[in-house]
Amino acid sequence: MFRYFENLIDPYTPYEETDTPPQRLWPFLWAYSQPFKRLFLVAGTLSVIVAAVEIGLIHYMGRVVDILSEGAPAEVWDRYGAELIGIALFILLLRPALQALDVLVLNNALLPNFGTLIRWRSHRQVLRQSVGWFENDFAGRIANRIMQTPPAAGESMFQVFDALSFALAYLIGAAVLLAQADPRLAVPLVIWFALYLALLRWTITRIGPASKAASDARSAVTGRVVDSYTNIHSVKMFAHHDREVAYAKEAIDRTRSTFQKEMRIYSVMDIALTLLNGVLIVGVVGMCVALWVQGTATVGVVAAATALSLRLNAMTGWIMWAVSSFFRNLGIVAEGMETIAQPITLVDAPDAPDLELRAGQVEFEGVSHHYGRGAGGLDSLSLTIRPGEKVGLIGRSGAGKSTLVKLLLRFYDPEAGRILIDGQDVTRVTQDSLRLQIGMVQQDNALLHRSIEENILYGRPEATRVEMMAAADRAAASEFIAELTDQEGNTGYAAKVGERGVKLSGGQRQRIALARVILKDAPILVLDEATSALDSEIEAAIQDTLYGVMEGKTVIAIAHRLSTIARMDRILVLDEGHIVEQGTHEDLLKRGGLYARFWERQSGGFIGLEAGTTEDA
């Protein structure tokens, strides 16, 4: 039974992705709600039916009081016995069935699947954002919004059908019931309801902004805390425990302050509600007693009105909390939208084809990119790398080396000029097909918190285990992998590496990353300080492997250790976004220019960076 309702909606149903999600709250929720439209209708209908049944029962309890007053027990039973048995069976059988159906639709069909659908689609949407987008925010804050928005949206929908539609139907039914007994009985209920709506309006106009502020503050705390944990090595190395505690405390205290303001609203609401409910009970019951004294109302009417008033008194707090919870959760959704609903700015061109790599020629035509700052990066750079050519790239920090690579991979689009691979503009082909043709080993290779095997297979998931282990062997990684054990008892290739590969040394992470690229076997290879984390012995051991991997590929290798690129076909020297020298190692040494000065200043094979240079962009 549960499985039937749980499978009524598939939260992973195909949908049309959009680069520009709705920016306003209700269109945003409506877009995510499309698979649930029919279920919403069923849930709303059931909620109204359940409310009508509850009102009907209160009405019938009043009738029972009147029936029992009509004569002797035997006479009453003879006249009304069948009716009473029928009502008893309804209460025992049909009413639970209706309640069960309502609960199953809400708890098992709607709530789990709605939250799952939003979380799934939100994660997919955020993963489509560019590298630059992620670089401008805290990973922790992004993750927090992805995690807290779906349950808030699901809870909002739940409150609509579990409380709001039920309460509205109940109030209408109560007014009809009282008016049928005597129209004057509806007057105190209408007056109370008007005052109740005024309190409700006061509450919801304040609770939404207060909830959004509290949610913002919680996300900020998560961002700061995750930032500290992610960079725990730096925190410990510089002995900044107290500084990080103070950094988090500032955000935590802001969260406390925003939560206090939110709770003040609830306190005022609760106090005012108690006063209003007193008005309801005294007004309705007092009016009934007055009518009974006048002889215009039966004891049954008084009993039903009293039961109804007490039931409303019990419900009003729940309704108020449900409504305020509804708007509080909408505030959380609105805060999450600041991340989830951001437009995708770096997108594939309409009907973009896949990259067709034929030879592997790479061309930069007048490329400029300054990250919107007007300085740094590349400036009108033109360069052709022939198919199979191996090019070394050097320069001071900030010269534009990493910018060149990021533009080639289309992590950013150039502000001017274009980049071609085999004559195809990289901005006019699909991003996935472009990156599938490029293998890259970076200076700081952060691994996934998964097993060694999964991390290597990330290069080519369809590869066999034999191919995966061969790649590890070529990267001089198989020996240390065999000795690995994690906290769960997994060993060797099954051992997990920790967040960002923290359980491995820098050299070990580098060799896993190199094995991953060896397995990928892409025709274009980018090495960004690929051996910088290796000791001299390991570097020497895999140097021949590296050149073997480069065979037949178009290669761009960035290095400060010049010995690693001395055997390249051509070496380019970048300075302030321009190519200032190029040639073979021997040619550049003979010229006595910038490259020659770098070579002379090397200590242990690294470029001696001059004071005043900036971080590589």
Report pLDDT digits (tens) over 365-384.
999 998 877 667 899 999 99
pLDDT > 50? residue 611:
no
pLDDT tens track for 194-235: 888 888 788 878 877 887 788 788 888 888 888 888 788 678
pLDDT > 90? residue 453:
yes
Query: Which of the listed ranges 179-188, 256-265, 523-532 does the model predict with the highest average pLDDT?
Result: 256-265
Residue 466's Cβ-side half-sphere holds a number of Cα atoms within 13 Å equal to 0
**Whether residue 607 is found in the same domain as residue 556:** yes
DSSP H or E stretch at residue 394: strand 390-395
pLDDT tens track for 284-303: 778 888 878 887 777 777 77
Place 140 in a pLDDT band, splitting at 50, 70 and 90: confident
- Dihedral angle at the C-alpha atoms of 27, 29, 30, 35, nearest 10 degrees? 150
Confidence at residue 607, expressed as pLDDT on a 0 to 100 scale:
53
Query: Which of the listed ranges 41-50, 491-500, 517-526, 546-555 does the model predict with the highest average pLDDT?
Result: 517-526
b or e along 214-236 (b: 16 or more beta carbons within 10 Å of the residue's beta carbon)? Answer: bbbbbbbbbbbbbbbebeeeebe
- CA-based torsion, 220, 225, 226, 227: positive or negative: positive
Place 274 in a pLDDT band, splitting at 50, 70 and 90: confident
Lowest mean pLDDT among 35-49, 92-106, 115-129, 195-209: 195-209
Place 497 in a pLDDT band, splitting at 50, 70 and 90: confident
**For residue 529, is it within any domain?**
no
Place 612 in a pLDDT band, splitting at 50, 70 and 90: very low
**Whether residue 52 is found in the same domain as residue 174:** yes
Confidence at residue 531, expressed as pLDDT on a 0 to 100 scale:
65
Q: What are phi and psi of 163, to 5 degrees?
A: -120, -55
**Whether residue 489 is found in the same domain as residue 595:** no
Place 470 in a pLDDT band, splitting at 50, 70 and 90: very high
**Whether residue 158 is found in the same domain as residue 227:** yes
Confidence at residue 616, expressed as pLDDT on a 0 to 100 scale:
44
Q: How are beta strands 416-421 and 424-425 bridged, if at all?
A: antiparallel
Place 617 in a pLDDT band, splitting at 50, 70 and 90: very low
Nearest-angstrom CA–CA distance, 37 and 24: 19
**Whether residue 299 is found in the same domain as residue 285:** yes
Confidence at residue 529, expressed as pLDDT on a 0 to 100 scale:
77
Confidence at residue 191, expressed as pLDDT on a 0 to 100 scale:
84
Give the CATH number of the domain where residue 164 resides: 1.20.1560.10
More confident residue, 281 or 426: 426
**Whether residue 495 is found in the same domain as residue 396:** no
**For residue 44, is it within any domain?**
yes
Nearest-angstrom CA–CA distance, 325 and 320: 8
**Whether residue 433 is found in the same domain as residue 565:** yes
**Whether residue 103 is found in the same domain as residue 226:** yes
Give the CATH number of the domain where residue 444 resides: 3.40.50.300
**Whether residue 155 is found in the same domain as residue 295:** yes
Confidence at residue 610, expressed as pLDDT on a 0 to 100 scale:
44
Average pLDDT over residues 85-90: 90
Domain count, the chain: 3
Which of 521, 543, 559 terminates a domain? The answer is: 521
Confidence at residue 532, expressed as pLDDT on a 0 to 100 scale:
62
Which strands, in side-by-side order, build the sheet including 570-575?
438-441, 524-528, 554-558, 390-395, 570-575, 578-583
Which of 320, 340, 360 terminates a domain? The answer is: 340
Which of 319, 340, 361 terminates a domain? The answer is: 340
Smallest Cα–Cα separation from 217: which of 261, 153, 165? 261
Place 432 in a pLDDT band, splitting at 50, 70 and 90: very high
* Number of neighbours of residue 176 by Cβ within 10 angstroms: 12
pLDDT > 60? residue 109:
yes
pLDDT tens track for 247-267: 889 889 999 999 898 888 888
**For residue 314, is it within any domain?**
yes
**For residue 542, is it within any domain?**
no
More confident residue, 28 or 193: 28
Residue 470: give the domain boundaries.
440-521
Average pLDDT over residues 314-328: 74
**For residue 377, is it within any domain?**
yes
Q: How are beta strands 570-575 and 554-558 bridged, if at all?
A: unpaired
**For residue 545, is it within any domain?**
no
Confidence at residue 614, expressed as pLDDT on a 0 to 100 scale:
37
**Conformational region of residue 552, where left means phi above 0, alpha means psi within -120 to 50, and beta covers everything else:** left
% of the chain at pLDDT higher than 70: 94
Q: What are phi and psi of 497, to 5 degrees?
A: -95, -5
Average pLDDT over residues 486-498: 88
Average pLDDT over residues 581-600: 89
Indicate the residue type of 75: E
**For residue 363, is it within any domain?**
no
pLDDT > 50? residue 615:
no
Place 47 in a pLDDT band, splitting at 50, 70 and 90: confident
pLDDT > 60? residue 471:
yes
Confidence at residue 17, expressed as pLDDT on a 0 to 100 scale:
87
**Whether residue 462 is found in the same domain as residue 564:** no
For 448-523, strand residue ranges (E) read none
pLDDT > 70? residue 403:
yes
Confidence at residue 522, expressed as pLDDT on a 0 to 100 scale:
92
Confidence at residue 302, expressed as pLDDT on a 0 to 100 scale:
76
More confident residue, 294 or 21: 21
**For residue 359, is it within any domain?**
no
CB 560 within 8 A of CB 575: no
**Whether residue 476 is found in the same domain as residue 584:** no
**Whether residue 410 is found in the same domain as residue 492:** no
- Long-range contacts: 227-231, Cβ < 8 Å, 24+? 227/138, 227/140, 230/139, 230/140, 230/499, 230/500
pLDDT > 50? residue 459:
yes
